Structure 1
Amino acid sequence: MRRRTLLRSSGIIVGAALTGGSIGATAAESDEREEPEPLEFDGEGVSVTDEFSIDGGPTVIEATHDGNSTFVIQFVPLEDGVDYRLLEHTGEFDGSAGAFVEEGSYVIYVDADGAWDVVVRQPRVSDDDAERPPLTIEGTGSNWSGPILFEETTRIAAFYEDNSNIRVEVVPQGIDDTEFVWNGSELVFDAIGPFAGVTSINTEDVGYIDITAVGDWTIELT
């Protein structure tokens, strides 16, 4: 299973088209809570996992799927709350995805046509643990990268040559919904490729980048 996207130091963004964006102060404090132990689930075909608890905050899944059809991973609250569809993919999968998940008890609904496994992690890091721009992040398909320390002046560029959709979101470590952050994430790009763009990020402090895509992509932070 692919556990982590490569982060490496980078310099200047090349060939990006300016798409605009405004900067706002939405700082979050470092998360000093103890990181919960990872939760592991596996099965085959359509399944519902046992109940588990989420403390509230960024939540990442690392998953594989050995099938040819739909692969969906959805957190379903046992009480009133929001369903979180963390992943929707077709075919084989080996990658990660994530979201800011509210505190509560959940089960995972898995829609699959083959064998699958899912690891659930709830990262808790300080500013010192996070990578700092400039950074280049490269990958294929849907993936989750971080932790990254975003600053007021941070800019993000995305490069995508495939003819499919690419969606890039920033998930803060701890923050309330604001003008820029809604349902736990800040939408940065949502486009049909080929695509190249650069914009500002409104989120400040520690966060993660969630990429939904099919083809190869490059993210550059400066």
Structure 2
Amino acid sequence: MKRRRVVQLTALGGLTLPLAGCTNEAAEDDGNETDNETDTDTETSADGNGDSEDDEDGEDDESTDEPEDQEFSGSGNEAIEDVSIEGGLTVIDATYERSSDEGDDGEADDNESEDGDDEFEVRLIPEERLAEDDQDGSDTDDERNATDDEAETDTDDAEAADDESEDEPEPVVFVKSEFVDSSGEYEGQTAHPVVEGTYVLSVVADGDWEVTISQPRDESGEEPPISVDGSGNEVHGPFEFDGSHQPSGEYDGERVIADIYPISDDPIFVFHENSIENPSEFEFEGVGYLSVKSDGEWTVEIE
């Protein structure tokens, strides 16, 4: 998907100074005209009724800075730390190719996919949560090193307490960390709202992969009617909605789900495979992106 870049231009106003030391009337007239022109330029720039500076300032006020894309690549499993997310809509564009050892025998590839040995997974995990898990693991290991029966009993009690604490509600760190969970080669985009913070990009793969994380912050977009077609997982936009909208669509796979993702809010449901033949209207005012997840080709129209 293409990113919008905001380019700021700064206008430099020219300043004309009056001539000094002239004694004739023509020079005085020229000086007065120059003074008038200078005063006019100064007033125009100051009162905001003029040309470029205030217009550009107004344009900048309407624009929102968009975080730079973050690009990663590698081969096999990897955990990349210090991935910064500013909070809001986050889109991951990922590609995955099987390793060169695979693909020589089609039957072997099918077996590998069924056994789950050729999976491709992409997740964003909060670093603070990983730190808490590591600390909990260290405490448990220390307890298990005890040799007397009383220490073993204490360990069992501690583990039971940990199990009970897992049932208690925890503060929401993100809506969903899993962006990709696929078998075999993959190419697509997925979107989720993510809370501001520092994350670990976790990739599980058997071959080469590339991941680009973008955080779109558009404030305007194409208005309905909208018609988009594609295949697999794709994210399209921005689109600008205003009120009630009627979706429709087609697909040739076994599953499909379409949602509208606002910049800083929960997604709006459009339809899935069970409702695509008679989808309901949805209400939304604002800018959003269309996210479609499917195992085949699809078409989405919104009026």
TM-score range, shorter chain: 0.7 to 0.9
Question: Closer, same or farther in 2 for the Cα pair 1:207/1:31, shift >3 Å?
Answer: farther
1:196 maps onto 2:284 in alignment: no
- 1:67-106 counterparts in 2 under 5 A? 67=98, 69-79=118-128, 81-82=173-174, 83-106=176-199
Q: TM-score, normalised by structure 1?
A: 0.75
* Matched position secondary structure for 1:33: coil
State the match for 1:120 in structure 2. 213
Count of paired positions: 183
- 1:7-86 counterparts in 2 under 5 A? 32-67=63-98, 69-79=118-128, 81-82=173-174, 83-86=176-179
Deviation at 1:148, TM superposition (A): 0.7
1:54 and 1:103 in contact (8 A); partners too: yes
2:223 and 2:240 in contact (8 A); partners too: yes
* Matched position secondary structure for 1:199: coil
The one of 231, 242, 255 aligned to 1:165: 255
The one of 214, 218, 241 aligned to 1:150: 241
CA distance in 2, matches of 1:219, 1:105: 35
Residues 77-120 of structure 1 show CA distances to partners (whole Å, capped at 9, x for unaligned) of 11252351112222111221111111111111111121000011
Deviation at 1:31, TM superposition (A): 8.1
CA distance in 2, matches of 1:192, 1:90: 24
Residues 114-149 of structure 1 show CA distances to partners (whole Å, capped at 9, x for unaligned) of 10000111111112xx11111110001011111111
1:39 and 1:119 in contact (8 A); partners too: yes
Consecutive unaligned residues of structure 2, counting only runs of 5 or more, are: 3-60, 99-112, 130-172
Q: Could you tell me which amino acid in structure 1 is paired with residue 269 of structure 2?
A: L
State the match for 2:299 in structure 1. 218
State the match for 2:287 in structure 1. 206
Q: Decide which structure has greater strand share.
A: 1
CA distance in 2, matches of 1:42, 1:114: 11
Q: Which has the higher contact order (CA 8 A, sep 6+)?
A: 1
Deviation at 1:48, TM superposition (A): 0.9
Give the RMSD, CA atoms, in angstroms: 2.1
State the match for 1:136 in structure 2. 227
